[in-house]
Structure 1
Amino acid sequence: MTVDTALKADHDLEPLESSQGTLLIGQSVANPPTWTNVLAHYSPEVRARLRTQSCSAVLLVEVGSGKGKRLFALCFGQGHHAIEDDAIQRGFGLRVVLNSVSRSQLRTLDSASLDTTVMQRRVQASRDTDLSAFDLDANRNLLRLASGTPKMDDFAKALAGKDALHLRAAFDPSKLSEMCEKALNLFQATDYKKDFAFIDHVQPVADRALTDRLDALAFKDLEAMVDGNVSDLHLAIPDVLTPEANLEIGYFGNGLPSGPKMAYGELAIEDYVDELRKGSFTQIANMAEIKRSHEVRVITDGEGDRDHKRRLYTCFVHEVTLHKDIFVLFDGQWFLISRDYHAEIEDAYKVLLKPAFRASTTAKNEREFIAELGPEHHLLSMDQTKVSPKGAAGANLEPCDFLSRSKQLIHLKDGHASAPLSHLWNQGLVAAEAFVSDEVFRKGFRAAAKKREKKFTKNGFAKLLPDGRSKLIPSEFAVVFGVMRHLYVSSGTLGLPFFSKVALGAVAERITRMGFSVELHLIEKR
């Protein structure tokens, strides 16, 4: 990596003579803040009186020699926006923190669960705290950021890291290179394996030829979506956003529609694909073109704000299988799922997978499939039945979509719809918890079943449920997750995305502890 390739082509920073490294600086022009547009309605003078501007600096320092030479970028102000995304060592800051901080000295953890809706979570303690207090599901969540107090204070008093490393330390400008060398040594250490070995479940892919091949597979799935086919490819902002960051965004780049932009209230693959269809998708040759030119920008009056943007590629979330290995794309980085971790999840998944109560369906969606199953003699539709537990009158939980004569509590989901499968898993979990622990919910469930028996002219279902005098025996019931899915094109088989299997395993374990059995039924969408 060189100074020239480390910075974006349009960085607009100017070089300044420096006694060490390469220093580049930038100063923005003073302009009224955007929020003065509101105040100007009441006081026109406000736009002339208020100004805001920012400054940037990047100091690039080479450390080491020969093949071990690395380039460090020390960023000040808005300088980090000038760094080329591909030049960043992903996970550098996180690895330094985990090699420096013991499990009992953590202050903040950020994690992400990778589903069709990415759930990001930040837990922050008021003082140094043990890992166990953060309630991190190491098998389900990707650890993104950590902060805490180092075991030794010869490097820093406090550390926080994701890709970048942030530190609080007494700084001697004459020892800058030594500090960078120490940070590099901490990155290369393996101390993290003692308390944080689970981060190796997902390992960054560094091989450029392999990432290019994975990008080609992801682009092929994007092409399929533009053609109207289904894929598990989706979009998510890979950062924890502040609650007030409720902005409208638009899609920009080669092959996308020009002129005033459609403003969207959220990032969604469906909207992006619609924009590709309205534009000239044939101009986009490959994923490299999307990496180069496609951006998500904040929209103001139909125009994109060039100061508030990010590469769209960093928002892709996808999973592909290559040579029996599972790879996941998140935050612009491909990760390899370790084979031991993959085998562990697959073994648990196979235990749950059972022959489906309906092998296939021509229904286009969940609603049509529920209508198709309604006449079945052995099933009672409980779809859209709302029952509330004690003390939660407005909870309106759905006990299940269907109750079977063999005491199956069946929950259904179209596995290719926009709602994530994790919603289905959690629906089954919450309903099971209410069923086993709340007598008011059980009575409500039985009463709702009686009403449905009358509605559909069926009988014998309500008596399968506890009546208030009889005791619930969870082992007599099975929680069944029925998922409608298209066959995978590559293998011709039915399956689930890897991280959906991870989430299912965690939920199934909790339901099983209550005494219920848990089954997964995959129904082919024809």
Structure 2
Amino acid sequence: MKLSYYLFNENMRNFNQLILHNKVNENNNFFVLKPKDPDNLGFNCQVYIQRNKQKEPKWIEFLEKDLNIPKRNEIKNTVNSFVILIKLNRTVDAEEKSYFFAITGGFGFTAINKNNLENNFGLKVALNTIDSKELKAFDVRNIDLKTKQKRVLINKGSELGEFDLDFEQDLINLVSGKSKDEEVGTSIRGTTSSLSLNSNVGFSQLGEKCNQLLDLFLSDDYKENFSFIDNIKILKDTEITNSLNQKLFETLVNRERDYISLAYPDMIEYERCSKYKVYYGRKTIETEEVTLYDIYALLDQINFNSPTLINKIKIVGLDDSDTAVTSPATLNHFIIYETQLAEDKYIFSLNNWYKIDNDYFTNVQNEIRGIELLETEDFLTDIEEGETEGNYNERQDTDYFLCLDKKNYQVTGSRSKIEVCDLFSIDKHFVCVKKETASATLSHLFAQGSVSMKLIRDSVEYRKFLVDKAKEKFETINYDEDNFPYSECTLVYAISTSKTEDIRDSLPFFSKVNLLHHISLIKRLGIKVAMYKINVANRALTL
């Protein structure tokens, strides 16, 4: 029988904490079922059944506006569901512990309190159980500011590498496959919170089944093939989240500048905005770019006395006539914040808290520090505060750079247009420029570089497009599209910031992960990669 299993977190003490009482009541046709022989059952349980819950289908209103429906009041959807709550007692390290499970059928899953579930229960059990050569599907989402979700299914059991996913920067939401142990079940599907299991089990065996699943959850066998799932986890523990929200609030109260930054969320169409209005109630700040300086200026005007106010400060984009061209977005969608609680590292981004594995965090930092940093002071000029990228690119040294900003290549047989780079130097630097605070995400910059370099390698027409323009500009070009000096080329990510620290350190953590992914792609093409920090001129306060 196919059942859904849930494990609750260790803070649970009784069955009442596991269900939503506004759902599980007689008004919703939920009733308690009693065991026939509780003394011989072997485990503590509480069982609810929802019997013949009727509800009018939503589509009935669509039809009845223009159609006569005979016996209309008899048309009902009927739902029958159940929720089984189980308590297990275990001795762990000489300490008695209680573990609570829920098992559901029908729509029973809507009746349990999902805020109290153990994070990654379904994933860990599934990855500890599925044959690593019989994987069927993955659901993943990336962890950059511009989120993408995708599901990859293969019709035949396959190994991990065949899914072509980047597990260094993708969070797994679901995995399914064939079990290597049929005593556990045959087909298995695990998500961050639930486990769907097809197994031959009766009600009286559920205590034994939950003990088996608990053993699998506590096992570290998955690390042999799937250790990456521990790198980054969405935090769902309310108690820890509340503590972290308080730390973020105190950081804002103290007007701190370290380990906190702002980035435009994907919902903001920043290209349409001439300026932004940051406001709370009647208190307003207008600015060309949203910075910490602006946020702190607004906080100076209001009674900022609670973490909940972070979600009430709003930001809207305006055009030249002061007309709103974006929907208001709250401040919590802009903030990127890194902190530590006890021995664990956490990051606030995408309006979520993430727990970062300490070893993984250190490895990413070390790899980022290994990226070459161009430190030639006059390679590029400082950018003026409020200056557009287009104006900045056009005023660079015209004897040294060919400006290719907005001079796009039309991909043959496609509607796609690709920008080779913003600036191409006589020394074969492909420079991609981005203002740190003027982009919904740095991922566009990083992808621009890797996509362009792949086309340089793969497309003769693309190389010819570049070489022809380079020869028009520079008399000393001694190569062509058929004899291209790949090994002498360097892709330069040039990012502006008013922060004084190393540009490699000032990037948000998730942007660092994304950057490493694209650098790996570029280096495989035999092309070097470097970073360059563009300083912001005339900024009195560094934030």
For normalisation by structure 2, the TM-score amounts to: 0.71
Unaligned runs of 5+ in 1: 237-255, 258-268, 291-311, 454-458
Q: Deviations over 1:121-151 (max 9, x none)?
A: 2211112111111123232222232111111
Distance, in Å, in 2 between the alignment partners of 1:213 and 1:506 is 32
For normalisation by structure 1, the TM-score amounts to: 0.74
Aligned with 1:146: secondary structure?
strand
Distance, in Å, in 2 between the alignment partners of 1:7 and 1:144 is 23
- Contact 1:116-1:418 within 8 A present in 2 as well: no
Aligned with 1:80: secondary structure?
helix
Cα distance, 1:440–1:313 mapped onto 2, change above 3 Å: closer
Within the candidate set 86, 102, 111, 1:61 is matched to 86
Within the candidate set 443, 454, 457, 1:422 is matched to 443
Aligned to 1:399: 420
Aligned with 1:64: secondary structure?
strand
Larger Rg: 2
Q: Which amino acid in structure 1 is aligned with residue 18 of structure 2?
A: A
Q: Between Structure 1 and Structure 2, which shows a larger proportion of helix residues? A: 1
Q: Which moved more, 1:334-343 or 1:400-409?
A: 334-343
- Contact 1:413-1:482 within 8 A present in 2 as well: yes
Shift of 1:70: 0.9
Q: Which amino acid in structure 2 is aligned with residue 512 of structure 1?
A: K
- Contact 2:464-2:480 within 8 A present in 1 as well: yes
- Contact 2:266-2:440 within 8 A present in 1 as well: no
Distance, in Å, in 1 between the alignment partners of 2:54 and 2:252 is 40
Aligned to 1:476: 488
Distance, in Å, in 1 between the alignment partners of 2:253 and 2:157 is 48
Shift of 1:97: 0.8
Is 2:136 aligned against 1:125? no
| Mapping of residues 369-448 of structure 1, within 5 Å | 369-377=389-397, 378-389=400-411, 391-448=412-469
Distance, in Å, in 1 between the alignment partners of 2:187 and 2:365 is 39
Q: Deviations over 1:463-493 (max 9, x none)?
A: 648444x61011221111122345399x999
Shift of 1:418: 4.9
Cα distance, 1:348–1:201 mapped onto 2, change above 3 Å: same
Is 2:131 aligned against 1:102? yes
Distance, in Å, in 2 between the alignment partners of 1:342 and 1:141 is 15
| Mapping of residues 56-455 of structure 1, within 5 Å | 56-65=81-90, 67-162=96-191, 163-202=193-232, 210-219=240-249, 231-232=262-263, 285-286=306-307, 319-322=337-340, 326-328=345-347, 334-355=353-374, 357-358=379-380, 360-364=382-386, 368-377=388-397, 378-389=400-411, 391-448=412-469
Determine what percentage of the aligned residue pairs are the same residue. 24
Aligned to 2:15: 3
Q: Which amino acid in structure 2 is aligned with residue 520 of structure 1?
A: M
Aligned to 2:48: 24
Aligned with 2:161: secondary structure?
helix
Q: Deviations over 1:368-407 (max 9, x none)?
A: 1330231222333211111134x43532111111112322
Aligned to 2:41: none
- Contact 1:494-1:524 within 8 A present in 2 as well: no
- Contact 1:222-1:233 within 8 A present in 2 as well: no
Cα distance, 1:331–1:63 mapped onto 2, change above 3 Å: farther
Aligned with 1:104: secondary structure?
strand
Distance, in Å, in 2 between the alignment partners of 1:115 and 1:41 is 46
Aligned to 2:323: none
Cα distance, 1:203–1:443 mapped onto 2, change above 3 Å: closer
Is 2:67 aligned against 1:43? yes
Cα distance, 1:67–1:522 mapped onto 2, change above 3 Å: farther
Shift of 1:114: 0.4
- Contact 1:32-1:47 within 8 A present in 2 as well: no
- Contact 1:110-1:122 within 8 A present in 2 as well: yes
Cα distance, 1:404–1:211 mapped onto 2, change above 3 Å: same
Aligned to 2:271: none
Q: Which amino acid in structure 2 is aligned with residue 343 of structure 1?
A: T
Q: Deviations over 1:24-47 (max 9, x none)?
A: 3446542231x4454445435499
- Contact 1:235-1:315 within 8 A present in 2 as well: no
Q: Which moved more, 1:411-420 or 1:181-190?
A: 411-420
Is 2:474 aligned against 1:460? yes
Aligned with 2:506: secondary structure?
coil
Q: What is the alpha-carbon root mean square deviation over aligned residues?
A: 4.2
Distance, in Å, in 1 between the alignment partners of 2:212 and 2:224 is 20
Shift of 1:191: 1.1
Is 2:519 aligned against 1:508? yes
Distance, in Å, in 2 between the alignment partners of 1:224 and 1:148 is 50
Distance, in Å, in 2 between the alignment partners of 1:161 and 1:71 is 18
Cα distance, 1:449–1:40 mapped onto 2, change above 3 Å: farther
Unaligned runs of 5+ in 2: 1-11, 36-43, 268-279, 282-289, 312-329
Distance, in Å, in 1 between the alignment partners of 2:503 and 2:529 is 26
